[in-house]
């Protein structure tokens, strides 16, 4: 089996950071994270980029980081909230980078360069799909180089910014529509499944007991998420980490093939992901998550956090698969 090469496109806030840590913890002989591209979303691009650079530096990874879109393709009004704090990590201060710097390539250029450089190139997209859509628009032939897309976004039913729309798709529905129609094979993990991937305080204690920089940071982020929930906000849902688990832990999720359309109308339904399980639909076909094995996911997450920063362990684990 050829080695897989993964780029992570993200708007790093709290659960994005945990997803990054979990994904890095699964690197080994069979998969390498070759780059991270930042996008506007949970907070402004300036902060998502800084969060990515500082996080990777803190964990000891020399993965290149590229700065991406500062706003959606068609700009909305102000949609930033305090869900992740003003800078995305609830005020958790990671050390300032002294050696790492951003790539000189912007996100579309960077994604193109990575796709040309590596065979078996895949993308984990856990923020708005703006960077991916712009890349496809500027370099249409790149779709032949992207083997697979793994996406956190949308929902079969419901939403979290409206009754019909999930945040990542709602921020930039035009980008989502472009990506969905690209013809690239994709698995999508949506809100109605990720909101069942909830971490408890007991889970957080077990993660912290690993005793590594990665586990201590995850535990600190989770504590901030628990405080948010106690104050009436969202619980400790692992939206993005669950999407990442689809790459490494197939038994964590159940998928079904479906047709997908994105509502791009200028209405309250904008950003709605419209799924059909009928074979008669002519809309693009995707694999969408319909269920999860929560104990299996928690086991995977804890193991992945333990693996972050432990390259020798990862190579032994992945090499034995």
Is 239 known to be catalytic?
Answer: yes
- Tell me the DSSP string of 151-219: EE---SS--SSSSSB-HHHHH-HHHHHHHHTT---EEEE-HHHHTT-B--HHHHHHHHTT-SHHHHHHH
Residue 73: what pLDDT?
A: 93
Q: Is residue 80 very low, low, confident or very high in pLDDT (cuts 50, 70, 90)?
A: low
Residues with Cβ within 8 Å of 267's Cβ and at least 6 positions away in sequence, in order, are none
**Number of residues written out for the chain:** 321
For the stretch 166-187, pLDDT in tens is 999 999 999 999 999 999 999 9
Q: Is residue 245 very low, low, confident or very high in pLDDT (cuts 50, 70, 90)?
A: very high
- E strand residue ranges, the chain: 4-10, 31-38, 65-66, 121-125, 146-152, 186-189, 253-262, 273-276, 285-292
Q: Is residue 317 very low, low, confident or very high in pLDDT (cuts 50, 70, 90)?
A: very low
Q: What is the average pLDDT value for the chain, to the nearest integer?
A: 91
CA angle 262, 69, 243 (to 5 degrees): 55
Torsion of CA 32, 37, 43, 45, to 10 degrees: 150
Residues with Cβ within 8 Å of 204's Cβ and at least 6 positions away in sequence, in order, are 218, 219, 222, 223, 226, 236
Q: Is residue 93 very low, low, confident or very high in pLDDT (cuts 50, 70, 90)?
A: confident
Residue 74: what pLDDT?
A: 83
SS3 call for 253: strand
Question: Does 310 have pLDDT greater than 70?
Answer: no
Residue 249: C-alpha distances to residues 3, 42, 175 (Å): 17, 26, 28
Question: How many Å apart are CA 108 and CA 124, to the nearest integer?
Answer: 15
Residue 206: what pLDDT?
A: 97
Q: Which of 84, 87, 187, 239 is catalytic?
A: 239
Question: Does 99 have pLDDT greater than 70?
Answer: no
Mean pLDDT of 5-34: 96
For the stretch 36-62, pLDDT in tens is 999 999 899 999 999 999 999 999 999
- Tell me the DSSP string of 96-121: PPSS----SS-HHHHHHHHHHH-SSE
Q: Is residue 222 very low, low, confident or very high in pLDDT (cuts 50, 70, 90)?
A: very high
Q: Is residue 269 very low, low, confident or very high in pLDDT (cuts 50, 70, 90)?
A: confident
From the list 114, 115, 116, 122, the residue with the least C-alpha distance to 30 is 122
Question: Does 273 have pLDDT greater than 60?
Answer: yes
Mean pLDDT of 248-268: 94
Residue 195: what pLDDT?
A: 97
Question: How many Å apart are CA 262 and CA 187, to the nearest integer?
Answer: 15
Per-domain boundaries in the chain = 4-319
Q: Is residue 96 very low, low, confident or very high in pLDDT (cuts 50, 70, 90)?
A: confident
Which superfamily does 4-319 belong to?
Ribonucleoside hydrolase-like (3.90.245.10)
User: Rounded to a whole number, what is the distance in angstroms from the first to the last CA of the chain?
Assistant: 11
Q: Residues of the chain with pLDDT > 90: what percent? A: 80
């Amino acid at each position: 089996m050829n080695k897989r090469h993964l780029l992570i496109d993200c708007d790093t806030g709290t659960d994005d950071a945990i997803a990054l840590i979990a994904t890095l913890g699964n690197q080994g002989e069979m998969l390498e994270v070759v780059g991270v591209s930042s996008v506007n979303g949970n907070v402004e691009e300036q902060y998502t980029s800084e969060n990515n650079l500082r996080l990777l530096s803190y964990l000891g990874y020399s993965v290149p980081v590229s700065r991406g879109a500062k706003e959606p393709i068609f700009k909305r009004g102000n949609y930033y909230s305090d869900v992740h704090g003003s800078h995305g990590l609830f005020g958790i201060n990671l050390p300032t980078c002294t050696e790492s710097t951003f790539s000189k390539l912007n996100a579309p250029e960077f994604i193109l360069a990575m796709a040309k450089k590596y065979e078996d190139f895949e993308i984990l997209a856990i923020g708005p799909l703006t960077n991916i859509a712009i890349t496809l628009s500027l370099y249409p032939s790149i779709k032949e180089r992207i083997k697979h897309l793994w996406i956190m976004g949308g929902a079969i039913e419901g939403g979290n910014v409206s009754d019909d729309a999930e945040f990542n798709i709602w921020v930039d529905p035009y980008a989502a529509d472009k990506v969905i129609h690209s013809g690239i094979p994709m698995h999508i993990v949506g809100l109605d499944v990720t909101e069942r991937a909830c971490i408890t305080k007991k889970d957080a204690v077990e993660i912290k007991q690993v005793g590594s920089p990665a586990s201590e940071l995850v535990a600190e982020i989770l504590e901030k998420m628990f405080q948010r929930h106690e104050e009436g906000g969202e619980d400790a849902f692992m939206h993005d980490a669950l999407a990442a688990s689809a790459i490494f832990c197939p038994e964590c999720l159940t998928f079904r093939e479906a047709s997908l359309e994105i509502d791009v109308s200028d209405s309250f339904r904008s950003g709605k992901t419209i799924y059909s399980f009928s074979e008669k639909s002519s809309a693009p076909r995707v694999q969408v998550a319909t269920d999860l094995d929560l104990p299996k996911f928690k086991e995977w997450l804890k193991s992945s956090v333990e693996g972050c920063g432990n390259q020798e362990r990862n190579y032994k684990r992945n090499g034995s698969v």
